Amino acid sequence: MQAATLDMIQAYRNSLIVPAHKKYLAVCWRDSIYVQHNAIEGLSSAGGIQDTPADACIAILRACGILPVFKWVDDFVIFRSPSLPCLSDDPLLYDYDLNSVFRITDPLGIPWHPVSKKGQDFGTTFKYLGFIWDLTAQTVSLPTDKCDHSLLKLTTFISKHRVSRNDCASLLGLSSMSASSSKMPAVPSLPCPDS
């Protein structure tokens, strides 16, 4: 099995506002009122608005035989398995590649960041949601820089005689990221990669 990752460009700003709702989402700036045509990024009343186009994209890809596909907000991961069993010396054949995805999504106007900047082509190891996923080893780990940063933050916290509310909040943020891994498939460990 292999996976590729894609990142949708400006998920919030690509979400159109229903014309009847525009009057409620006007912005006052420098004594002028401006009508919004797209959802404002970070608008608290528009939470989850990016789900509709992203969910529609997944439904279209699945209907075209590209599956499984998952997303978290605007970050997509697409899996593929070899289409036919083959001998160990034969190269693996797949029913689709990233160009297949783009042939479906480009005419629909779904904007993706260039894969070279945010995302990656199909492979057995990939970075998604800040973690390194290794399908062959069946592990999920923190990237080295994130692991080093987390260890430094934890070591600094433990070494203090007194900690502030901000120190605790910072550590809570770190533990929240680690706890989010509990929603991931069961894996043997969450090791830091060797430096």
pLDDT at 129: 86
Q: How far apart are CA 111 and CA 106, in angstroms?
A: 7
CA distances from 144 to 67, 148, 187 (A): 30, 6, 18
User: Measuring CA to CA, which residue among 124, 109, 115 is closest to residue 76?
Assistant: 115
pLDDT tens-digit series, residues 107-120:
998 889 999 999 99
| Residue 175 placed within a domain | yes
Q: How far apart are CA 37 and CA 168, in angstroms?
A: 40
Q: What percent of the chain has pLDDT over 90?
A: 34
- At residue 119, what is the residue type? G
Split at pLDDT 50, 70, 90, the class of 35 is confident
pLDDT at 13: 63
DSSP, res 194: P
CB 8 within 8 A of CB 111: yes
Q: Which of 15-19, 38-42, 71-75 has the lowest mean pLDDT?
A: 38-42
Quote helix, strand, coil % in the chain, to nearest 5. 35, 20, 45
Number of domains making up the chain: 1
pLDDT at 64: 96
pLDDT at 183: 43
Domain hosting residue 146, numbered range: 142-195
Mean pLDDT score of the chain, rounded to an integer?
Answer: 81
pLDDT at 48: 63
| Residue 182 placed within a domain | yes
pLDDT tens-digit series, residues 126-173:
999 888 999 999 998 888 888 888 888 888 888 888 888 888 887 777
